[in-house]
Amino acid sequence: MTITTLFCSTGVSSKSFSADTDKRDISYASHTCPAIVAQVHLTVVPYEDMRMCPSAPVTMAEAHQAVAFQFTVSPDGIDLQLSHEALRQVYLSGLHSWKKKFIRFKNGIMTGVYPGSAPGLMLVLAGYMGRAKYAQVDPSLGLHLKIGKYIPVSKYISLDNQTRVGGVLVGTGLWVVIIFTMRSVLKWLLSWHGWMGERHGSITWKSRIWLALVKIFSGMQTPNLYSFQTSLPNLPLPSVKDTMKRYLESVRPLLDDDEYKKMEELASEFQKTLAPKLQWYLKLKTLWATNYVSDWWEEYIYLRSRNPIMVNSNYYALDFLHVLPTNHQAARAGNTIHAIMLYRRKLDRAQIKPLMLQYTVPMCSSQYERMFNTSRIPGIETDTIQHVSDSRHIVVYHKGRYFKVSMFYDGRLLLPREIEQQIERILADTSEPQPGEEKLAALTAGDRVPWACARDAYLRQGKNRQSLNAVEKAAFFVTLDDTEQRHDPDNPDESLHNFGKSLLHGKCYDRWFDKSFNLIIYKNGTIGLNAEHSWADAPIIGHLWEHVLSTDAIKLGYTDDGHCHGQPHSNLPGPQRLQWNIPPECQTMIANSLSVAQALADDVDMVIIPFQEFGKGLIKKCKTSPDAFIQIALQLAHFRDKGKFCLTYEASMTRLFREGRTETVRSCTSETCAFVKAMVNNETHEKKLSLLKQAAEKHQQMYRLAMTGKGIDRHLFCLYVISQYLQQDSPFLKKVLSEPWRLSTSQTPLQQPELFDLVNHPEYVSSGGGFGPVADDGYGVAYIIVGENLINFHISCKCSSPATMSSSCRLLLFTVALSLYSSQVSAETLCGGELVDTLQFVCGDRGFYF
């Protein structure tokens, strides 16, 4: 009789017994006749159930190499054997962990003393000690002598050395004072935003001096990702009076005279009664919180929502528009996963350059911290974000099965060809999903409360808990999609429609929507990404995605036959199949969640429009902001379609402040509405052009106010949160926060254009990304301005709404036929006045031109 206990090197264990022996037999035999228990073997296997895919079976030699130690119990005693290879892997794993801890410790020190540096410390010490010794001048006024007296004299420390140590301590203290002074001055400098109001290309002497001072007080050394965090100013709290004034100004074009008068009365009553008390509490919060908005925004807007996060919150990013580097699914996965892990390594080492405006003004980097090893955990009342400091594996989903794949071997990151090898093993595995396993992730796509109940009731014990931990603590989640998606130039509408919807929701059960992001690799090698929204905003994941696309196609590349460069590893342990025991009751809950998610997904209509007739190059020649031009065109198109204006949301960022996230730009302004009416009434070219410039300038002003902490909606939101804590209702705040955003828009910025040589290789253009509609009767519009001659639009709405209708989901702007007009009108003519005719033409007489 043999008793075998299996211990997996990745932390998963299982026990197997001979067919004719159960646990009670073993227990009885071990007590009555020890000689019966012939052997006890401890072995390590890559799979918990000892199954590998047919193309890469686990041989006994491979299993033996993974054995950390083995002992045999017999009547003659215990025979202990050690595996040097397995112990080596344990040693290398521990060494990797300690290296990572040391790097984080070093980066913490470097960030803590920035803008100071080791050379700066040496310079201060040399200057102080030299002046005291040679110039006979004591800058510390005897302080170093007093400190030196507390250092005991011994055979190692003489009286002279005692004085020198005191001098070193005083010099170090002086260095610290200099650091805090520079940091305080830099924080004060970064609180000034007057430079933002100047026209592009024309900088006043005041701004030039300011930029020079910022560079000086930013230090001479190269900053790491988090160097400027303690130097960034806190988000300022605007006055209630200013917020009320800007709010009433924003709703004036949306309300008739009677409605506006009522709103004025509500605002006035709120400002005189409840607002001062709520504002006092907010001022109190600003004294101890670095950002008075972000924590409440994350909790109440994202984590406390009980609706599905699929479509409603999560967003997506697409592959290259024109380029497909390889059509081998495993190869594309190998390069892409490796590129992501390289980015994570740079992130862990804080080697990513902080983003800066004007190459000088730093932006907050706090959102990067939870990019990897992060999962949203469902709760009954509110969700939480779980982030672990390190994770050495990913989880891969393929045809209803979950696989845990280690990203490290032999103390190093797997190479692209080795990752490709692991993916090939998964693709060749023909095993069937376990009961309930295939559609388990539908729980993450449905309502949050049933998911929280199912998780607590059925997935917190035994093998389910181990497998769920593997998923939630993975670096990220990978889906090997068995469909083919790609932009088809011969059928762009349908192909991009299917591509976008697949990334937004997939089959509703083949993405783990709670993970910080899901990497999707399609059967034909196309890739995409689905990201959860609570932990960070889209520009953060966009920064990662730009790195991935450039590293995959440009830096790593592929062989002539489409595979990753390098050779596969002969002894690389294979993927580990995760084990589940899903009871029938849980399977019923999975089916219910899938039904809810499927109805939500089926109701989404989407169109992705790559507009290539012209881009920001032509618009900027007309001395108009590209973003303002697009937003004005949106308003004109919407008015043509609906005959009225609507509350419009454009996302802006507040990352000029510490822990800043977003603010709302209410882009439907009175100036924009005046221009739209002039277009509709066919006013003169001169008047339309004048109104267009006024509308564009107003939009830029609103955007600057939002970026500098003088927005409207985040302040009102925080006042509302305080009112709920105090249990004091405000009719004004309730009305404001219940207004639907029927046009929700967002621009995805291209943050690292230097990674793509778009001048010589224009084919490497990004398709950008998109999101679902915010209002049931509204549109979600995302756009990315790429290079000089491309604007990609992602437009979504709900099929069930008669106000939007799927056929008019082509909403807005100059999508088709603009090429016919732009080919006849030069940039000079547009700048001279016919730019407005372009908007008139492309928006059509009835609304959106299509």
pLDDT in tens, 264-288: 999 999 999 999 999 999 999 999 8
For residue 220, give the 3-state DSSP assignment: coil
For residue 188, the surrounding DSSP H or E stretch is: helix 159-190
Query: How many Cβ atoms are within 10 Å of 339's Cβ, its own excluded?
Result: 21
Identify the CA nearest to 510 among candidates 534, 478, 471, 486.
478
358 and 494 housed in the same domain? yes
Per-residue burial over 444-468, b if 16 or more Cβ lie within 10 Å, else e, is bbbbbebbbebbeebbeeebbebbb
Which residues of the chain fall short of a pLDDT of 50?
A: 1-67, 135, 806-809, 811-830, 832, 834, 841-842, 844-850
Predicted confidence at residue 129, as pLDDT, reads 67
687, 721, 739 — which closes off a domain? 739
Show the domain range for 424: 312-602
Cα–Cα distances (Å) from 777 to 250, 272, 667, 740, in that order, read 21, 35, 19, 9
Q: Are strands 576-577 and 779-786 parallel, antiparallel or unpaired?
A: unpaired
436 and 367 housed in the same domain? yes
131 and 68 housed in the same domain? no
Identify the CA nearest to 792 among candidates 633, 639, 632, 615.
615
Which residues pair with residue 362 across a beta bridge? 356
Per-residue burial over 240-255, b if 16 or more Cβ lie within 10 Å, else e, is beebbebbbebbebbe
Predicted confidence at residue 809, as pLDDT, reads 47
49 and 168 housed in the same domain? no
Q: Is residue 666 part of a domain?
A: no
CATH of the domain at 251: 1.10.275.20
Identify the burial level of 515 via C-beta atoms within 10 angstroms of its C-beta, where 0-12 means exposed, 13-18 middle and 19 or more buried: buried
Predicted confidence at residue 375, as pLDDT, reads 98
Q: Is residue 102 part of a domain?
A: no
Cβ proximity of 64 and 28 under 8 Å: no
Angle between helices 275-288 and 257-272 (to 10 degrees): 60
Q: In sequence order, what are the residues at sequence separation of 6 or more whose Cβ sits closer than 8 angstroms to the Cβ of residue 278?
A: 719, 722, 723, 726
Angle between helices 584-602 and 492-505 (to 10 degrees): 150
Q: Is residue 655 part of a domain?
A: no
Predicted confidence at residue 495, as pLDDT, reads 94
Predicted confidence at residue 46, as pLDDT, reads 40
Identify the CA nearest to 511 among candidates 664, 418, 375, 326.
375
293 and 402 housed in the same domain? no
* Cα 739 to Cα 742: distance, rounded to the nearest angstrom: 9
Predicted confidence at residue 733, as pLDDT, reads 96
Query: 231: which DSSP letter?
Result: G
Tokens of 574: 């294979």
Tokens of 214: 């910022």
Q: In sequence order, what are the residues at sequence separation of 6 or more whose Cβ sits closer than 8 angstroms to the Cβ of residue 365?
A: 225, 226, 228, 229, 352, 354, 355
Q: Is residue 845 part of a domain?
A: no
Cβ proximity of 476 and 531 under 8 Å: no
CATH of the domain at 347: 3.30.559.70
Predicted confidence at residue 28, as pLDDT, reads 34
Q: Are strands 790-798 and 779-786 parallel, antiparallel or unpaired?
A: antiparallel
Q: Which residues are catalytic?
A: 533
Predicted confidence at residue 72, as pLDDT, reads 66
369 and 412 housed in the same domain? yes
222, 256, 271 — which closes off a domain? 222
Cβ proximity of 627 and 840 under 8 Å: no
Identify the CA nearest to 55 among candidates 607, 453, 428, 511.
428
469 and 546 housed in the same domain? yes
Identify the CA nearest to 579 among candidates 395, 425, 420, 407.
395
Q: Is residue 179 part of a domain?
A: yes
Predicted confidence at residue 21, as pLDDT, reads 39
469 and 598 housed in the same domain? yes
* Cα 146 to Cα 163: distance, rounded to the nearest angstrom: 9
* Cα 152 to Cα 141: distance, rounded to the nearest angstrom: 22
323 and 297 housed in the same domain? no
Residues in the chain: 850
Total domains present in the chain: 4
Per-residue burial over 653-686, b if 16 or more Cβ lie within 10 Å, else e, is bbbbbbbbbbbbbbbbbbbbbbbbebbeeebeee
Cβ proximity of 834 and 689 under 8 Å: no
Handedness of CA 247, 249, 250, 256 (dihedral sign): positive
Identify the CA nearest to 528 among candidates 541, 519, 536.
519
Which residues pair with residue 408 across a beta bridge? 413
- How big is the CA angle at 332 (ends 327 and 336), to the nearest 5 degrees? 155
156 and 42 housed in the same domain? no
Q: Is residue 191 part of a domain?
A: yes
38, 59, 82 — which closes off a domain? 82
465 and 488 housed in the same domain? yes
Query: 758: which DSSP letter?
Result: T
560 and 582 housed in the same domain? yes
Starting at the edge strand found earlier in the chain, the sheet holding 13-17 runs 13-17, 2-7, 39-43
Q: Is residue 597 part of a domain?
A: yes
The DSSP annotation for 769-833 comes to EEE--SSTTSEEEEEEEETTTEEEEEEEEETT-TTT-GGGTT-SSS-SSHHHHHTTS-HHHIIII
Cβ proximity of 792 and 321 under 8 Å: yes
Q: Is residue 95 part of a domain?
A: no
